[in-house]
Amino acid sequence: MLYDARGHARSPAPPEPEAYVFPDLVFDFARVARATAPHVVAGGLSLGAATALAHALAHPESVDALVLAAYPAGGEAGRSWALAFADAIEERGVSEAAAEFVSGPQSRFDDKGAAFIRQGFEEHPAHALAHLLRRTIAVFPPVQELSRALATLTAPVLVIVGSKDERSREASERLVELLPHAKLEVIDGAGHVVNLAAPRAFQRVLERFLDDVMRDKLV
């Protein structure tokens, strides 16, 4: 099952800033997972990856495997970028803010990834983007702060990152070090939106991982 996080695309976008705190996104994810099946393979990209991981840590008994793509780096650099981006959205609108923070001098993305991200932003309400940037993305912790919790996760984990996604690559490598049963796949030439930048390569590593998960369950 696929879903749009709150404030994204077709999902509701409440006006209140407090509606966009990370625990509520994780609650939404858990509700969708419970409606899907007692046990799921949970996954996501960027914010979605962080949400899927938080769900797995909160409900490990319901997660057979985990796919984390372009995991967000978090930390102080991400915080300052997110807060400045949110201010720009409210002051100048989504298009002008994205031109600076997604494609321009404040960008953290490769050119191809930036084009996909800007296209997606045009589908989201401006107030929701600003609230998500302030209330969730700006407060993501660096991966090492999750080390104790990550050590308890026994499900197999596939971590995928593009070779050009420098910030997520560092976080992804750290995740693999800290998770007991994790494998890292680096997609050559891809940036942050790795599933759209290199869809065939992404599909290959995903299918191989899922085949292994199913094979282990049948043994």
Residue ranges of the domains in the chain? Answer: 17-74+141-218, 77-135
Given the candidates 3.40.50.1820, 1.10.490.20, 3.30.70.1070, 2.60.120.560, the CATH classification of the domain at 17-74+141-218 is 3.40.50.1820
Contact assessment for residue 65 and residue 53, using Cβ atoms and an 8 Å cutoff? no
d(CA 112, CA 125): 23
- Whole-model pTM: value is 0.91
pLDDT in tens, 8-17: 888 899 999 9
Host H or E run for residue 91? helix 75-92
pLDDT in tens, 40-73: 999 999 999 999 999 999 999 999 999 999 999 9
Residue 61 has a pLDDT of 95
